[in-house]
Amino acid sequence: MHIPDGFIDLPTSAGFAVVAAAGVAISIRGAKSSLDEKTAPLAGLTATFIFAVQMLNFPVAAGTSGHLLGAALAAVLIGPYAATLAITIVLILQALLFADGGLSALGLSIFNMSLVGVWVGYGVFLIIKMIMPKQKISISIASAIAALLSVPAAAAGFVLQYAIGANATFSVSTVFTAMIGTHFLIGIGEALITFFAVGAVLASRSDLVYGYKNETSKLEIRAN
């Protein structure tokens, strides 16, 4: 979902770049409390793993591929603020080094994936986690549903940008239907990868999972 230059006009791109920059600034402050000597390298590994898996396009429908976004995965593993920063770093490096995603469109992509994708994903995760039994498997399932919905949510961000400042004149509703449909399919792949990745970390080092750790630390306080 890396937007090339030219799809969206420059004023709209600049506007979203300002919003994206504000979101990143807030995330730097927000991430401070969850990052320490122990979790900072884990956040770095999360960004690195997401970069690697974003190279692995999987087929979704005739002639279409998709790859992991990683927004919900990162939000569950390292918390939403650090996740916003992790996805942003990946997007900037992809645009600068690999010519993946236009430079003038960087603010648009950061808005869609680092902000909308992460926060919709994290919100869905919290809601599902609340209504599920308190077990490890619930964390994996909540993560997978969050992942499934985070992808069409990020795609909806693009449709919003298209509606405001597209350089083309095709109808917004056509773009909306196609974007949401395609990205719901990609979301299924996203959900599977996220389910297994979160499960793997829970199995080896559950104490490192932000979305699980919060739960246990709250219980400890209650027990005291």
Partner 1 sequence: MKQKTFLISGFIASLFLAGIVSFYASSHPDGLEKVASDIGFIDSAEDHTNSDGILADYGVKGIDNSRLSTGAAGVIGVVATGVVSTGLFFLIRRKSGD
Q: Which helix (H) or strand (E) is 7 found in, with range?
A: none
Q: Does 48 bind partner 1 (CB under 8 A)?
A: yes
Nearest residue to 143 (alpha-carbon basis) of 90, 82, 210: 210
Determine, following the binding rule CB under 8 A, whether residue 18 of this chain makes contact with partner 1: no
Which one, 19 or 53, has the nearer CB to partner 1? 53
Nearest approach, Cβ of residue 56 and partner 1 (Å): 5
Report the alpha-carbon angle 119-116-193, nearest 5: 75
Provide the minimum distance between the beta carbon of 135 and partner 1 in the complex, in angstroms, as a whole number: 21
Residues 75-104 that bind partner 1 (CB under 8 A): 82, 85-86, 89-90, 93-100, 102-103
Question: Restricting to residues 107-136, which ones interact with partner 1 according to CB under 8 A?
Answer: none
Among residues 89, 83, 52, 81, the alpha carbon closest in space to that of 67 is found at: 52
- B/e letters for 63-102, b = 16+ CB within 10 Å, e = fewer, are eeebbbbbbbbbbbbbbbbbbbbbbbbbbbebbeeeebbb
Among 18, 32, 173, 216, binds partner 1 (CB under 8 A): 32
User: Should residue 206 be labelled a site residue for partner 1 when binding is judged by CB under 8 A?
Assistant: no
Give least dist CB 87 to partner 1, A.
Answer: 10
Binding track over 162-201 against partner 1, x by CB under 8 A? x---xxx-x---xx--xx--xx-xx---------------
Q: Which is nearer to partner 1, 132 or 208 (CB)?
A: 208
Quote the CA–CA distance of 104 and 188 in Å, as a whole number: 30
Report in angstroms how near the CB of residue 213 gets to partner 1 at its nearest: 14
**What Rg value do the Cα atoms of the chain yield, rounded?**
17
Contact flag: residue 33 with partner 1 (CB under 8 A) = yes
Q: What angle do CA 128, 52, 121 make, to 5 degrees?
A: 20
- Residue 44 lies near partner 1 (rule: CB under 8 A): yes
Residue 32's identity, in one-letter code, is K
Nearest distance from residue 76's CB to partner 1, in Å?
Answer: 15
Task: Tell the burial category of 21 from Cβ atoms under 10 Å away from its Cβ (0-12, 13-18, 19+).
Answer: middle
Per rule CB under 8 A, is residue 39 in the interface with partner 1? yes
Q: Between residues 58 and 137, which has the closer beta carbon with respect to partner 1?
A: 58
Among positions 58, 173, 196, 216, the unique one binding partner 1 when judged by CB under 8 A: 58
